[in-house]
Amino acid sequence: MPTFALHLKTTLKYSFALLILSTLFFSCDRYNKLLKSSDYDLKLKRADEYYQKGNYVKAIQLYTELLPVFKGSEKAEEVYYNFTYCNYYQGDYSLSQYHFKNFARQFPNSKHTEECYFMNAYCYYLSSPHYTLDQTDTKSAIKELQSFVDEYPESSRIDTCNTIMDKLRYKLENKDYDQLKQYFKLADYFNDYKAAISACQNFLKEFPDSRYVDEVYFIMIDSHYLLAIKSVPGKKKERLDKAIESYLKFVDLYPKSEYLGKAEGVYSSCLQEKENILKKEKNGF
């Protein structure tokens, strides 16, 4: 490349960089002057412009100052509404959840009330973690979504709420399933099959239509049996009867279950153990 052309290219790059820096400096200087201004109508106008352009950081800073200024005025509603969405678009779901709910309380007759009521619940949904982690936000999301459904039964968002709640319940289902499997796995080590049985019972009550339900029934049958054979003689027969009772209910409900063969094996062992007990009782042992 000729020396002149190279020099011109370098000069243009330098000039462009200088232009960018000058523009940024001017922009920052203008924004700083705006922050110091007492012209609140101008600040609101600029805040709305920043909001529309997606510059939520600057918009939030201005709206935060303007919230108490316009409180009680006809502009208060839109200022708070935009401020809340700024936090939402910034990904701060915990804070935006609070403000969406607070908006619905402060402006119960607003055209945005239903939307904000829903967004409050939706933020909980977005904060819901992987099912292996703590599910407090998941439960809160279900509670808030159900509250929305009860409050707005004719809303166009009802189908969305139901779909989201199904997803959230699916997380809780997987969480409880993993926990009961863990209880059963550790039961022999800690000699505590009662915890596994209780976990199975709670799961079946909470998720009666789960895809895991027949497997959970089998785990409960097996847990009853293992608890029985490791019990003191005085409690063994009663606990075997619990296992048998669970098996009979399982067969009645799920006659084609893939766990039927395993369950029949446990049932046969229960009958054999019970027969041995009855023989001992008959012989005076």
- Give domain status of residue 203, yes or no: yes
- Give domain status of residue 241, yes or no: yes
- Give domain status of residue 174, yes or no: no
The total domain count for the chain is 1
- Give domain status of residue 62, yes or no: no
- Give domain status of residue 144, yes or no: no
CATH number for the domain that contains residue 225: 1.25.40.10
pTM here is 0.81
State both tokens at 199: 């976990």
Question: The domain containing residue 210 runs over which residues?
Answer: 191-285
pLDDT at 26: 44
pLDDT at 36: 83
- Give domain status of residue 230, yes or no: yes
- Give domain status of residue 200, yes or no: yes
10-residue averages of pLDDT along the chain (285 residues):
53 49 52 84 95 96 96 96 98 96 97 98 97 96 98 97 98 96 91 93 96 96 96 92 96 95 97 91 72
- Give domain status of residue 252, yes or no: yes
